[in-house]
Structure 1
Amino acid sequence: MELNFSELRELVAALNQTDIAELTLKSDAFELTLRKRGTTELSAMAPNAGLASPGPISSVVAPASSPAASGPAEEESKSAPTPDANLVDITSPMVGTFYRAPAPDEPPFVEIGDRIQTGQTVCIIEAMKLMNELEAEVSGEVVEILMQNAEPVEFGQVLMRVRPS
């Protein structure tokens, strides 16, 4: 199956006019997933299915009071507690599935109250069958873990909060 840019643009426009929230096309050469974030905004990913895992990914960290942290994904969150201005958010760098532990029968990478160091793995985000280790970019104490194990996450969604040391 081949899909050129013009056909892709037509597909996005057609999807935008329907009630379909997510569409996935798969072939031997690629996988394309389109997801509606709001009523009109679409997000598309089309990586080559044959690529190897990119390895560890550093977390996107922003102060909890950062205006960049607000947006549609945050508005849609179930319960966005009011963040403490002294806390630092660890956010998801991609759309995927959040995992607290390296395997179902192993302990979580971190728990509330744990002290973490810069570069320490705090969770895994699975995207397109690739396990991406998320590393902390700040040292401190984990004070909140906002996600449940195996829960889907959006790009930029706050996963946990850390009180920097």
Structure 2
Amino acid sequence: MDNLIKILDEIIKKIEGKNIEEVSIETEEGKIKVKQYIGPKEIVSENYPKVEVKEVITSETPKVEVQKEEKKYHVIKSPLVGTFYRSPSPGAPPFVEEGDIVSKGQVLCIIEALKVMNEIESDINGKIVKILVENGQPVDYGQELFYIEPK
């Protein structure tokens, strides 16, 4: 087990500050998976390798589709910077799932900021069409969280 911890420390040191988002290693002692949030994939930086730039350029078509969806659906955005949680506690069922009908004032998620749990509520009646953030992921102010089809 000590060997896995040493390997983990080395991996973290090597990927810190790089554009590597996920690393998985499997040994006889166990399996290590390290995920690093490197920001939205649409951001193009001069520091990105050319392979990344090609990937971003080819993703322009889905970006246009998302913009079309925004016109059809009501968007719930993050009112603050923090960590997104789909359920009230670990192991508890999520507040909502895609396809659920929600009412105005119903809690959709929690965003933890400065150790304060902030409940994010729906501001309309409708159907959850898309949940845009994974549980436990960091979110920015104004980041889109949910698409809701108004009813």
After TM superposition, the score normalised by the length of structure 2 is: 0.57
Alignment coverage as a number of residue pairs: 93
User: Which of residues 115, 121, 131 is equivalent to 2:117?
Assistant: 131
Structure 1: distance between partners of 2:41 and 2:104 = 25
Say which structure is richer in helix.
Answer: 2
5+ long unaligned stretches in structure 2: 1-16, 18-39, 44-55, 57-61
4+ residue segments displaced more than 6 Å? none
CA contact (8 A) 1:74 1:157 kept: no
- Aligned partner of 1:111 in structure 2 is 97
- Aligned partner of 1:82 in structure 2 is 67
2:124 alignment partner, SS class = coil
Structure 2: distance between partners of 1:75 and 1:127 = 25
1:102 alignment partner, SS class = coil
- Aligned partner of 1:38 in structure 2 is none
Structure 2: distance between partners of 1:133 and 1:88 = 18
Say which structure is richer in strand.
Answer: 1
5+ long unaligned stretches in structure 1: 1-19, 21-72
Which structure has the greater CA radius of gyration? 2
Structure 1: distance between partners of 2:113 and 2:68 = 27
Structure 1: distance between partners of 2:119 and 2:92 = 15
Query: How far has the Cα of 1:83 moved from its partner?
Result: 3.9
After TM superposition, the score normalised by the length of structure 1 is: 0.52
- Aligned partner of 1:162 in structure 2 is 148
1:101 matches 2:101: no
1:120 matches 2:106: yes
